[in-house]
A and B are shown apart, each in its own frame.
Chain A
Amino acid sequence: MTRLYRILLLIVLVLAFAVILPWQWYPREWRVWYADTFGASGFQQQAEVIPPTPSDNAEEACPPDIRGWRKAQTIAGIEITASPNCLADNPHAVAAFVKGTNNVGHMTLMNARLSPDAVVKGRDLDGDGDPDAIHIRLEVFELNGGSPDLDVPVTQYSIAPGITPGLWVFAPKSAGMSTENFESLLAQPGLRLPSPAIRVEQGDKVIVTLENTHYMPHTIHFHGVDHPFLTANGEGNDGVPVISEKPVMPGKQRSYEMQPRQTGTMFYHCHVEVQAHVLMGLNGMFIIEENRPNNWVQTFNIGDGFVRNSSVAVKEKYDREYDLHYLDLDKELGEKIQQSNDPRIVTQLINREYDISQADFEYYTLNGRSFPYTARDSLIVTAPGETVKLRVVNGGSEGVAIHTHGHKVTITHYDGVEHPEPARITRDVVWIASAQRVDLELSTENDGLHSYGEGVWLMHDHQEKGVTTNGFGPGGNVSAIVYERYLQDNGWPMTFGMGWKNFLTPGFYQRQEDGSGATALLASVEESGPSIMRLALLAVLAGLFFGLLVSWVLKGRSRV
């Protein structure tokens, strides 16, 4: 018997030692195996738990426009229209994108936080008064990534209160820091989801250079954009690693060339391990505008949304123009970049172990935000008797069924190709499959068909998952068509229902409050404890320990 006890004691001690041994002293391969088998380590759990926030800590619905970005202004000789939404795009960046970063002054570049070669606008090839040789430079940024020193995501970007999924985005080549300032962990306003809409003119000689500032290989594929299979010097130009070229490694760059003959709303995305990279956020809208004289197009629309400087052809037909980018995100995929700081492990987790066939999608975004943040920068603001152009792309992996309350919209283009006018369809639910684009004409003529009149009319994906954030509503891609009369001075919509204060707390999306406001008793729902496997292991240890103790006591008695 004593022999058995000794063996048991040894087992207990070894197990206890294994549990107590600090996590980082184990070989890396063991840790990867452990994370795969038993789930998250302490590092991951810490990242998930957000301390409960009382609702009187609610964020300001609409942060004040301290920098004066919303108002109409002239920068570097470019007249920039006022932006109706609460959060406006940086007008200095808009001016630099219209004129070219090579043609604006030092102060404009500093305020825009752009590199002088981000958008180089060169010669006027057709002599119609606008530049046609365009050189665009894109970088790749990781938002909400992990850090070896902090237990919160770095270069932070929230899609909704307290929701910071790991993301990768393309962004115009910037200058200086990625954060707002060195005391802040927040990403500077130019770095955000979605990857920006890119605009060029039909017939422009375009070079797009991908400068890979990220720690994983990437490429760009120009989906639907007229481009040759090979560049002039015979290199791959389609962005597909298995067919046309090797991926662009970290710290390297590659240029893509095109001179698009056709117009339309197109798409671009990374083509490396597409089942993961595209869904991390590496996809954006690519628009080829009709060729017109003196047509200085706004090369980038950061974060999509309201187009502050529409092209000549759009201005001929429409009063306003909006870019709308729908994207669903897999929470678990985004968390992978926060799980390890080792590029080899992240590569393994994303490129090899991520199984999209077992995935579900938790976050539904419009222009990189979920409700209520969509109301800050992605409302469609209009007025009676207007015609508004909406360019819509679905960058996600599931279809979206966009429903417009109070309006029926007319589909003018499918995948950038104009639909013949007599055959056009007017409807109130528009289905858009993955990677598809539609151009919509929103008429605000109050005739009971196109519009039912002025108001704050919701606009959302009518697949009900799409109006939730991690399965909890209201959230997701809910936005609204808002008439100017129903817009407050600061760009926030007038609402007549329940207050939004609860929605503006991180705790709300941790399910601490019922979406209808009916109960406030669910605080413990989302508290994540140790995994079941870990508890079971502890139970085995405790069982062995007490078993030994009891049998030792009994043994003592029997001797007496």
Chain B
Amino acid sequence: MSKIFSRPLLFLFALILGSPGYGADAHHHHMPGMTMDATGMVMGGNKDKLPDDCESINGDFEINVVAGTEYAEPYASTMFGFDKHEWQVKPCSRITVNFKNEDDVRHQWMLHGLPKYLYDRGMFHMEAAGGHSQTGVFIVPSDNKTYLVHCDIAQHMEKGMKAQLVVGSGSGDLWSIPGVTADFERPAGILSSKPWYALLISVPVFLFVFFVGLRFFR
């Protein structure tokens, strides 16, 4: 009799132990997908929950990011930086981010705009203490979209720690990404948002006025 029941019981026991959240390590606390200790934290980690619009995981990507003041050097007017400021992945893919911080102060690799039903505040957030590394995993939805990646310590984004994750064909470049769209001085003036357009108009206008003027006074 006992032998008959022992198998399903054992199976049930194994199921409970194996279920996500139960056998998790000591760092897991009130929020799913969150770890935190003296080396930093990962929030919004997601290894297996598919976004509603994805049938299956469409490939695995691994991103290695190094952060520090050293990586600001190639870009004028920045002080903090990542070694890369743009990554491209496929829709519905699973992304593993290995984030290494070479400075002596903390830095973040924070991604915004993920679906809020799956990620708290639509955010995947990693913070690495000075000299430490963090690894986190998340899954992107199916739409072609460009996601903002940055460090939210005051002025770190403004001074260079700004990047973009392009999913599929993306949804257009973001502003002031070092090496991609960087003009770190804020644009001003009437036509400045499209400099080439402005150049195309202003040069013919200048030439026209110039030659018409010369003809008048000849």
Contact = CB atoms under 8 A, between A and B. Distances in A.
Interface of A: 2, 5-6, 9, 13, 17, 20-25, 28, 31, 41-43, 106-107, 109-110, 115-117, 139, 141-143, 145-151, 154-155, 173, 175-179, 181-182, 187, 191, 211-215, 249-253, 340-345, 552
A31, A142, A182 interface centre (most CB from chain B within 10 Å) = A182
B187 A181 contact: no
Given A22-B198, A24-B183, A187 B154 contact: yes
A176 B127 contact: yes
Which secondary structure characterizes the binding site on chain B?
loop
Contact of A149 (B76, B103, B175): B175
B180 to A, nearest CB: 13
A343 B79 contact: yes
Contact of A106 (B36, B80, B159, B209): B36
Contacts of A109: 36
A176 B129 CA distance: 11
A343 B127 CA distance: 24
B210 A175 contact: no
Contacts of A253: 104-105, 130
B5 to A, nearest CB: 39
B8 interface: no
Contacts of A154: 154-155, 158
B159 A341 contact: yes
B112 A182 contact: yes
Given A2-B218, A341-B159, A178 B152 contact: yes
Contacts of A25: 195
B41 to A, nearest CB: 7
6 contacts: A2-B217, A22-B187, A22-B191, A115-B38, A177-B110, A552-B216
B189 A42 contact: yes
Interface residues of B, number: 56
Contact of A181 (B77, B121, B192, B206): B121
A148 B216 contact: no
Interface of B: 29-30, 36-38, 41, 68-69, 76-80, 103-106, 108, 110, 112, 121, 123, 125, 127, 129-130, 152-156, 158-159, 175-176, 183-192, 195, 198, 202, 206, 209-210, 213-214, 216-218
A153 B104 CA distance: 27
A147 B154 contact: no
B158 A341 contact: yes
Contact of B77 (A17, A250, A341): A341
A214 B36 CA distance: 24
Contacts of A20: 202
A41 B105 CA distance: 34
A342 B105 contact: no
A448 to B, nearest CB: 50
B155 A149 contact: no
Contacts of A110: 36
A210 to B, nearest CB: 10
Contacts of A5: 217
B192 to A, nearest CB: 4
Given A106-B36, A175-B127, A250-B79, A24 B210 contact: no
Given A182-B112, A215-B80, A340-B185, A141 B121 contact: no
A514 to B, nearest CB: 35
Given A6-B214, A142-B155, A145-B155, A41 B76 contact: no
B113 to A, nearest CB: 10
Contact of A24 (B36, B152, B185): B185
Contacts of B125: 176
A146 B158 contact: yes
B130 A143 contact: no
Given A2-B218, A116-B38, A253-B104, A23 B192 contact: yes
B68, B105, B110, B176 interface centre (most CB from chain A within 10 Å) = B105
A251 B68 contact: yes
A148 B184 contact: yes
Given A22-B195, A215-B80, A344-B77, A145 B154 contact: yes
Contacts of B123: 182
A22, A115, A175 interface centre (most CB from chain B within 10 Å) = A22
A107 B30 CA distance: 8
A41 B188 CA distance: 9
A6 to B, nearest CB: 6
A551 to B, nearest CB: 10
Contacts of B130: 211, 253
B154 A148 contact: no
A462 B198 CA distance: 56
A110 B125 CA distance: 14
A147 B210 CA distance: 38
Contacts of A9: 213-214, 217
A251 B206 contact: no
A351 to B, nearest CB: 15
